[in-house]
Structure 1
């Protein structure tokens, strides 16, 4: 999986030389929503934290741009690295809709148990409004597609979804 991400990143950043690319920073509030399912019932939990990171925006055609990002996210006592790769469709010159994969890597300082996936794959959907050519407001919700538990028995799963809401600035 890590090799696939590396090959994808090299290909993506290699194509930046051929396209108009801008770079920037973003940050804001992140809410995490966890749901655990067992044969005896379900439980949910949610917490709020912050995220901050860097992004590139690659012009991919008339109304399309691709925005890969690397965000540090901190919720309660846990931290993670979020890597969304959003395809942006401009409905209006100031407003865009977004969709793409989001990879989340847990950065816990404590040893991660063998039964726990520290790499999570999600599908993110979002939107952004650009106040100026440099300043924008973004919102993105990601749905975890894989199970947090490795080799879980039938009927057991843990999934975490995230809502990012913040500001971004293009250099």
Structure 2
């Protein structure tokens, strides 16, 4: 499933770039990021995990498809309370007004720097859907905000290890541990024109 998602992601990005008819600009992005996870077992909420905040910084390209529609692939590093991840969103941007756009698209993330126990428990590759908006202050500067909804289960270990890590006693036939991670980010963009 991971390989299929990655292959579809790369195919989408490649076809979009190859079909782009307009200008392409490159830039830098950075700002504030907040992440939280919700753990459930057998459909019952049991914990909020890793609710924290930090920063992100990275690179982006803005590919013009039409005068109002752009594709914006990005790669950035985000640090949330000492934990790091590399994020790769591909946003479809549509300008609903002269300088105001709405955005949506898929995002992959790869958690970095986990200890051995965390590596046993956590699926380090995440897939999410991102929704947001942006405003172009000038031709070079913009602000944007997004909410990313985690789609895949981030728990990769067995139920006993997962419960121990959350300090929850294993009380019997609890199955299907699930952890979804959502993030919110707001930042600035500088485009090289």
Same fold at TM > 0.5: yes
Q: Which moves more between the two structures, 84-93 or 146-155?
A: 146-155
Structure 2 partner of 1:165? 186
Structure 2 partner of 1:122? 128
Q: Work out whether residues 122 and 157 of structure 2, in 8 Å CA contact, stay in contact via their aligned partners in 1.
A: no
Q: Which moves more between the two structures, 31-40 or 80-89?
A: 31-40
| Secondary structure at 2:96 match in 1 | strand
Q: Which runs of 5+ in 1 are unaligned?
A: none
Q: Which moves more between the two structures, 87-96 or 106-115?
A: 106-115
Rg comparison, structure with higher value: 2
- What TM-score, normalized by structure 1, do the two folds share? 0.88
Q: 1:106: Cα distance to partner?
A: 0.7
Q: Which moves more between the two structures, 53-62 or 153-162?
A: 153-162
| Secondary structure at 1:27 match in 2 | strand
Q: Work out whether residues 16 and 71 of structure 2, in 8 Å CA contact, stay in contact via their aligned partners in 1.
A: no
Q: Does 1:143 align with 2:171?
A: no
Q: Which runs of 5+ in 2 are unaligned?
A: 160-174
Q: 1:150: Cα distance to partner?
A: 3.0
The number of residue pairs the alignment matches comes to 170
Higher helix share: 2
Q: 1:42: Cα distance to partner?
A: 1.9
Q: Does 1:28 align with 2:34?
A: no
1:146/1:152 Cα in 2 relative to 1: closer, same or farther (>3 Å)? farther
User: For each residue in 1:16-58, what CA deviation from the matched residue of structure 2 results, as whole angstroms up to 9, or x when unmatched?
Assistant: 6x53100000000000011111246421141010000000000
1:109/1:149 Cα in 2 relative to 1: closer, same or farther (>3 Å)? closer
1:12/1:155 Cα in 2 relative to 1: closer, same or farther (>3 Å)? same
Structure 1 partner of 2:48? 44
Q: 1:107: Cα distance to partner?
A: 1.2
In structure 1, distance between residues paired with 2:78 and 2:65: 28
- What TM-score, normalized by structure 2, do the two folds share? 0.79
Q: Work out whether residues 87 and 108 of structure 2, in 8 Å CA contact, stay in contact via their aligned partners in 1.
A: yes
User: For each residue in 1:106-140, what CA deviation from the matched residue of structure 2 results, as whole angstroms up to 9, or x when unmatched?
Assistant: 11253453442111000000000111111001100
Higher strand share: 1
In structure 2, distance between residues paired with 1:138 and 1:132: 13
